[in-house]
Structure 1
């Protein structure tokens, strides 16, 4: 069995691996919450919000892959299994069924705000442990904050 030797020391690898795993859970769950809203949205602003949700889903999926690959690059196995997501997500979940566009906008704004808070914590946690991962988190947080802004102004 091949193993990836980490370029980080044990302590830095542990801290960075934990932050990457938390980020992976956040991003995979965001993509699922976004798709759930995308499929079930109703209301006057359906088309605009429906299409905007796809932007968030695409962003989350792209960065989930980047985060997972970074974990492997430092010798940590990412865990994106459904059970792991269900057990570890901190994101609020949408109700089942149709959801009006105003409730979708409010919910996605809230989910993004919570994820951004955790990403800012990850930025701080990786400052000394792994500046490369910190840089990844900084870029991703900027994109999440942009999406948060775009949703928040639709209230």
Structure 2
């Protein structure tokens, strides 16, 4: 039997490379969503401005909570998260945000596409993450549900009867 000098620093679980890669994909996308959400929030103009402006902040709050929760989970399972701007820009599946003023209907279309890109990533990696670490998959499920709800709330603004 091996003697451990300080058992408090010995991890109970260490992520495989595949799990680390999947969680990094989720981290990059949800981090990008928080950034583009603020970009649109600052530059939206037009009808229903105030409601959309405030709803975009709700999306950003969810994305920031998601990035922090994912990064802290990664550290708990001995993975080093990489949320540096260059990494996020190079690896995200979130579409590039428009520059300058964005009319509300276009802002809705864009942010829904951005949310859906993140949700697609979360759904693509879910089963592999669940198999490797059910605790981490619960995080994906929570943020998938919350983001899908925001996608629905936002997209409803551009529906017509």
Q: TM-score with structure 2 length normalisation? A: 0.88
Taking the aligned partners of 2:23 and 2:31, their CA distance within structure 1 comes to 12
Q: Deviations over 1:52-110 (max 9, x none)?
A: 00000011001100000000000000001011011111111122110000000000111
Taking the aligned partners of 1:6 and 1:128, their CA distance within structure 2 comes to 19
CA RMSD of aligned residues (A): 1.3
User: 1:110 maps to which residue?
Assistant: 113
Alignment of 1:63-142 (within 5 A): 63-142=66-145
Taking the aligned partners of 2:18 and 2:134, their CA distance within structure 1 comes to 12
Larger C-alpha radius of gyration, 1 or 2? 2
Taking the aligned partners of 2:157 and 2:10, their CA distance within structure 1 comes to 47
Unaligned runs of 5+ in 1: none
State the 4+ residue runs in structure 1 displaced beyond 3 angstroms. 4-9
How far the C-alpha of 1:8 sits from its partner, in A, is 3.4
User: 2:41 maps to which residue?
Assistant: 38
* Aligned 8 A contact 1:31 1:56 in 2: yes
* Aligned 8 A contact 1:5 1:75 in 2: no
Unaligned runs of 5+ in 2: 1-8
Q: TM-score with structure 1 length normalisation? A: 0.92
User: 1:7 maps to which residue?
Assistant: 12
* Aligned 8 A contact 1:13 1:74 in 2: no
Taking the aligned partners of 2:89 and 2:68, their CA distance within structure 1 comes to 19
Number of equivalences: 150
**Greater Cα offset, 49-58 or 124-133:** 124-133
Question: Secondary structure at the residue paired with 2:157?
Answer: coil
How far the C-alpha of 1:7 sits from its partner, in A, is 3.3
